[in-house]
Amino acid sequence: MIYLDYNATTPIDERVLSAMLPYLKEEFGNPSSIYSLAQRARRAVEEAREKLAKLLNADPKEIIFTSGGTESDNFAIKGIAYANQDKGKHIITSQIEHHAVLNTCKFLEKQGFHITYLPVDRYGVVDLDALEKSITPQTILISIMFANNEVGTIQPIKKIGEIAKRHGVYFHTDAVQAVGKIPIDVKELGIDLLSLSAHKFYGPKGVGALYVRKGVKMSSFIQGGEQERGRRGGTENVAGIVGLGKAAEIAQEEMVEEEKRVRALRDELERRLLERIPEVVLNGHPQNRLYNTLSICVKYVEGESMLLNLDREGICASSGSACTSGSLEPSHVLLAMGVPPEIAHGSLRFSLGKFNREEDVERVSEVLPSIVEELRKISPFWE
Ligand SMILES: Cc1ncc(COP(=O)(O)O)c(C=O)c1O
């Protein structure tokens, strides 16, 4: 099998698994209890918090563990909305966010909040002028993703942070696809809230975190016990949190080397596919893009047909399309970037990672051109 869908999820790193196992077995204590078994679990949770904080240049007190990216996004946006609605009910986001952000905003719209969905250019970059112009005295939050999961485009986060600060508006970023891949310094970038998820960087599924800068006014998310300083009740997912901490530590040590290696593989895959397949468009920003992500649109072919054929060859990839209410809708990200729907239907995303090797690139760049050729033979649109 060749796995090229690291943006969907990553396999767990063996070192992460080894770090977690004791907390699923003999070290099973509840961190809130007082005997030493429990206190060892507490210490493990706090050590993980320190490792994650270090990765982001945050204070450990600014890290809240959650069940993953979706919860962190919900927490950030609703937490700010509910606690600051006396100031105003306006939130700014972009058209290309993950559904964890978009659907949270839609939910708030039904409760009387006003949401601005900013447009993006053809590369998927948010228009900063439009952002600044859309701020009103009622604006309480800007939520713009760090890097897009489908096309990989990285947003001008520092500039957005500056605009937010200038207008006294909170800035949240969904950094689920960026954390562990690229260095992030929340202080330098002016980020008030940041969402992340362990399973996108070789940690376990079902655990993530929200960074909340000290002094940010927000309401708690899950009412219950005093865990996570009363902001997110519920007994901690100790093994998951330990895994997240270990994944953060490994990312910090290996990120730079990993970037060089994976970028070279991705660039080679890009070069070969664009060279060997006629009528292909590259999606996303040519430079300001996650180094592991390659999104293309193959004209006159359906993304899903290519995926099924790749799967038959043991290759896992993804298309930008999502199955909505029984009908295949083209990706909202590509449409927002101005890609015509008929072309967006032919989208294909490869996202590379730690366990990919040159042979994988060679195999895919041999197999895909012939799959496309065969599919085009039966396409009514291909002459
Ligand atoms: C940009 C982005 N945000 C949020 C999420 C949701 O994260 P999780 O799967 O941890 O809920 C994902 C996962 O696909 C993502 O890519």
- Give the contacts of 375 (CB within 8 A, at least 6 positions apart): 301, 302, 305, 306, 309
> Residue 107: CA atoms inside 13 Å, Cβ hemisphere, count?
13
Query: CA-to-CA distance for 64 and 45, rounded, in angstroms?
Result: 11
Q: Which of 223, 134, 147, 221 is nearest to 178 (CA)?
A: 147
Model pLDDT for residues 304-316, shown as the tens digit of each residue: 999 999 999 999 9
Give the per-residue pLDDT at 321.
57
In DSSP terms, 197 is beta-bridged to: 208
Give the per-residue pLDDT at 383.
73
Mean pLDDT for the chain overall: 96
Task: Kindly tell me if the per-residue pLDDT of 381 is higher than 90.
Answer: no
Task: Kindly tell me if the per-residue pLDDT of 325 is higher than 80.
Answer: no
Task: Kindly tell me if the per-residue pLDDT of 326 is higher than 70.
Answer: no
Task: Kindly tell me if the per-residue pLDDT of 102 is higher than 70.
Answer: yes
Query: CA-to-CA distance for 383 and 119, rounded, in angstroms?
Result: 35
Query: CA-to-CA distance for 127 and 53, rounded, in angstroms?
Result: 30
User: Which residues are catalytically annotated?
Assistant: 323
Give the per-residue pLDDT at 324.
43
Task: Kindly tell me if the per-residue pLDDT of 80 is higher than 90.
Answer: yes
Model pLDDT for residues 254-300, shown as the tens digit of each residue: 999 999 999 999 999 999 999 999 999 999 999 999 999 999 999 99
> For ligand 1, what atom is nearest to the CA of residue 197?
10
Tokens of 197: 């998820």
Specify the residue with its C-alpha closest to ligand 1, atom 9: 69
Specify the residue with its C-alpha closest to ligand 1, atom 8: 69
CA-to-CA separations, 379 to 94, 346, 372, 375, 382, in angstroms, rounded: 35, 12, 10, 6, 6
Tokens of 48: 């993980």
Specify the residue with its C-alpha closest to ligand 1, atom 14: 8
- Give the contacts of 14 (CB within 8 A, at least 6 positions apart): none
155 in Cβ contact with 96 (< 8 Å): no
Give the per-residue pLDDT at 103.
98
Neighbours of 204 (CB within 10 A): 21
Specify the residue with its C-alpha closest to ligand 1, atom 4: 69
For residue 283, which amino acid is it?
Answer: N
Q: What is the mean pLDDT of residues 142-171?
A: 98
27 in Cβ contact with 37 (< 8 Å): yes
Q: Which pLDDT band, with edges at 50, 70 and 90, does 379 fall under?
A: confident
| Cα dihedral value 189, 190, 191, 197, nearest 10 | 20
> For ligand 1, what atom is nearest to the CA of residue 198?
10
> For ligand 1, what atom is nearest to the CA of residue 147?
1
Give the per-residue pLDDT at 113.
98
Query: CA-to-CA distance for 80 and 235, rounded, in angstroms?
Result: 24
Higher pLDDT, 77 or 381: 77
> For ligand 1, what atom is nearest to the CA of residue 68?
10
Query: CA-to-CA distance for 254 and 180, rounded, in angstroms?
Result: 9
Query: CA-to-CA distance for 336 and 163, rounded, in angstroms?
Result: 23
Residue 326 burial (CB < 10 Å; 0-12/13-18/19+)? exposed
Give the per-residue pLDDT at 190.
98
Q: Which residues' Cβ are closer than 6 Å to ligand 1?
A: 68-70, 73, 98, 100, 145, 149, 174, 176-177, 197, 208
Higher pLDDT, 323 or 82: 82
CA-to-CA separations, 3 to 168, 229, 355, in angstroms, rounded: 44, 39, 8
Q: What is the mean pLDDT of residues 113-120?
A: 98
Q: Which pLDDT band, with edges at 50, 70 and 90, does 239 fall under?
A: very high
The CA 202 to ligand 1 mean position distance, Å, reads 14
Tokens of 128: 């900063």
Specify the residue with its C-alpha closest to ligand 1, atom 16: 149
Task: Kindly tell me if the per-residue pLDDT of 35 is higher than 50.
Answer: yes
Q: Which of 157, 160, 158, 145 is nearest to 96 (CA)?
A: 145
Mutate to test the pocket of ligand 1, among 197, 210, 237, 318 (most ligand atoms within 8 A of CB): 197
Model pLDDT for residues 362-376, shown as the tens digit of each residue: 999 999 999 999 999
Give the per-residue pLDDT at 327.
53
The CA 246 to ligand 1 mean position distance, Å, reads 20
Name the pairing type of β-strands 347-351 and 293-298.
antiparallel
Tokens of 376: 């085009």
